[in-house]
Structures are given as structure tokens and as C-alpha cells.
Structure 1
């Protein structure tokens, strides 16, 4: 009787472990060796607001963040509505895995910003100092949202990405916004990866 219970318990534990493995998300491939702090990582999001951004923009991406850290320990600094319970809408620092989790992203692409090393360090330091600042979706160049955070970081470092703001005419969201595709048109951006799926 005891051996039957032990066998049943062992099967249940093994089944639970195997079930967890079956549903685990495969790890993302490592970023290319040329990746550096300050590079921009664009993602195609999964949420309704992501689809709205893409529809208004007509581009491939709905969100962008700045790469910080180092290989094996990359993080992404980005201005976003809350993606965790209890977290405010703000400039936040997340792990690369969290930023690209399949619940938040369908695909992504990494771009390097062409700039002198000193400008790169200044851009990262400026952006990191904004951590915790409230997310503000304002229809002017004064708002702090994903694209304006990284644009301003590079601009104050001396590397002008020469972006154009787009006039958006939506109820309660009218104004001029910096959309992801405008950042992508910058001559200072060079793709380091193709468009990669998160699954």
C-alpha cells in the first residue's frame, strides 16, 4: 500500500515537472556581440495599445527601450504604462527577458546608434537618471513616453537622431507625437539583428 502511494506521488511530481517543461518559453538567442549600452531595442507588442500605436504609425513596432548593462546581464530602460501589478506608469528598468516576454512582445529588433563612445555613456547616464519619472503621453515634445525618452537621451548627449514628430488626430490623444517609425528613419541607426520572433 505504501509503495503504491509512493509510486502515485512520484508520477504526480514527474508529471508536474514535465508539464512545466512543456509550457516553458524557449530562451531567446543572445544579443549580437556588437550590442552596446545605449542601443535601441524595438518590440512589436501584444496588447491593444500596441496595435493602436502600429495602426497610427503604420510601422512594424509599438515600443522601444534603451539597452543598458552588459552581455549576459542586459536590461532595458523604457518609459511605459505599468506592466506589473503595483508598478506606476513610469520610466522603468526591466530585464531583457521581461521586456521581450511572449506575453508582451511578438517580435523585436535591435538597432545600434552611431555615436562617439563619450556620447553613448552620456546618453545612458541621462536616461538612467530618469528612472521613476512618470510616463506622460502628451501631444508635444514635452511628454515622456518610450520614443521621447530615448530620443532626448541621445539628443542631450550630442547625437541628434533628427526625428520628426507626427500630427495625430485621435479623441483625447490629439497632438504631435514621436512615433517609432520616425526613430527608425534616423541615419544614425543601424540594424544589428533582423526582425526576430519572441517565440
Structure 2
């Protein structure tokens, strides 16, 4: 299989996993647009963090999916600093294609995010969110698998969907069918999470 095609779809679907750990870091101010501000103290375990990246592949995701976002992760801790578990190909070049545990300020730094948003799934209770967070933390280091829905797969959106389904089996975000050379089948874009019923938008640029 042509590696360029595989890289392109990897970028399209914001896939990959990377592992790293951050402890003892203090919260930092988040990047904002003029007149806007998000305080880390307003976030809770279980919140979904969306961003639109700065790279060419993020722009492709934006166009193909019709979404303002190319990536999604979930808050798994809020003290002493907010931490996000997410799946990405290149946030940490030293640890590509694994599961990342990333401080909020790094997840949203300007060279990674053109804009971002925070949504709170109100259809999950605090106990479910905590168990989902624990599940996500247990996935650190799992191998990235780029495949359609009918084959084993693991990328940013499917990782989150898999974790949520452990507590809410009825969770069913909308998949998108692709029919392009080399890649055909159903894939899961961040927009499916942004469109899911029962979200409270905590912050949106």
C-alpha cells in the first residue's frame, strides 16, 4: 500500500497515538481570541476538547468532514493541572503514533490550534465520566491502527468512542463513508462528536 496515501488519511482522520506523562505542572493561561478567555478551573473530567489544527492535513479534515474541528480528546484530570488523553500522529515528535497524555496549555498552544472548543456531555453522569477517564488512561501506549469500521482500528475519535461505550453501550456517533483510491469504508470524524445530542458547550471560539 502506498505510504503517502496512508499518511494522508492518517492526517485526515487525526489518527495516531502517543504516550508521555506530565506531573506536577501548574495550569497556565489558555490561548484566546481578543475579548475571550477560558479558565482551566471551568473544566471538568469528561469534557471533550476540540481543536482545528494548523497543518495542511487539518485543513483537509475541515474540508472533507465539513467540520470546524480536526481533532478531539477528553479531560481525564483537573488537578494539579488539566490533562487530556487523545490520539494524534505528531503532537509529540519524539513519541509518534501512540496515546498522548497532554497538559491543556500544550494541547491548545497556537502552533497546534487555530481555534478550539470545549463541550460537556450531559448524557453521562460524573461517575461514568470518571470511569471513562480511567479507561482512557489505561490505553496509553496502545498501537495505532488505521482501518475502516469493519476492521480493527484505533484513532482519535474511535478511542474516545470505545471508552464512552464501556459506560454507555448505546453511544453511537455518526460515521462517514469514504470512497477514494486505496481507502474505502466508514470512518469517524470529530464532527460526529460535535453534532452529538446532549452537549453543553462550555467554550467555543
Fold equivalence (TM over 0.5) = yes
Which residue in 2 is equivalent to 1:36?
A: 44
SS in structure 1 opposite 2:99? Answer: strand
Q: Is the alpha carbon distance of 1:86 and 1:32 closer, same or farther for their aligned partners in structure 2, counting shifts above 3 Å?
A: closer
Q: How many residues matched?
A: 170
Unmatched 5+ stretches in structure 1: 1-25
Which residue in 1 is equivalent to 2:107?
A: 99
SS in structure 2 opposite 1:104? Answer: coil
Which residue in 2 is equivalent to 1:134?
A: 143
SS in structure 2 opposite 1:192? Answer: strand
Equivalent residues of 1:161, 1:188 under 8 A apart: no
Which moves more between the two structures, 101-110 or 71-80? 71-80
TM-score normalised according to structure 1 size = 0.78
Q: Is the alpha carbon distance of 1:136 and 1:192 closer, same or farther for their aligned partners in structure 2, counting shifts above 3 Å?
A: same
SS in structure 1 opposite 2:114? Answer: strand
Which moves more between the two structures, 36-45 or 162-171? 162-171
**How many angstroms does 1:172 deviate by?**
2.9
Which protein has greater RCO, CA pairs closer than 8 Å, 6+ apart?
2
**How many angstroms does 1:159 deviate by?**
6.3
Distance between the aligned counterparts of 2:169 and 2:48, measured in 1?
A: 14
Which residue in 1 is equivalent to 2:84?
A: 76
**How many angstroms does 1:32 deviate by?**
6.1
Q: Which structure has more helix as a fraction of its residues?
A: 1
Equivalent residues of 2:30, 2:39 under 8 A apart: no
Larger Rg, first or second structure (1 or 2): 1
Q: Which runs of 4+ in 1 moved over 4 A?
A: none
Give the alignment of 1:181-192 within 5 angstroms: 181-192=191-202
- Residue 120 in structure 1 maps to residue 154 in structure 2: no
Equivalent residues of 1:91, 1:132 under 8 A apart: yes
SS in structure 2 opposite 1:176? Answer: strand
SS in structure 1 opposite 2:143? Answer: coil
Unmatched 5+ stretches in structure 2: 1-28, 32-36
Equivalent residues of 2:51, 2:72 under 8 A apart: yes
Distance between the aligned counterparts of 1:159 and 1:189, measured in 2?
A: 18
Distance between the aligned counterparts of 2:71 and 2:78, measured in 1?
A: 21
Equivalent residues of 1:154, 1:160 under 8 A apart: no
Give the alignment of 1:16-55 within 5 angstroms: 27-28=30-31, 29-31=37-39, 33-55=41-63
- Residue 172 in structure 1 maps to residue 187 in structure 2: no
User: Alpha-carbon deviations, 1:123-158, whole Å to 9, x = none?
Assistant: 111111111112222111632111111111111112
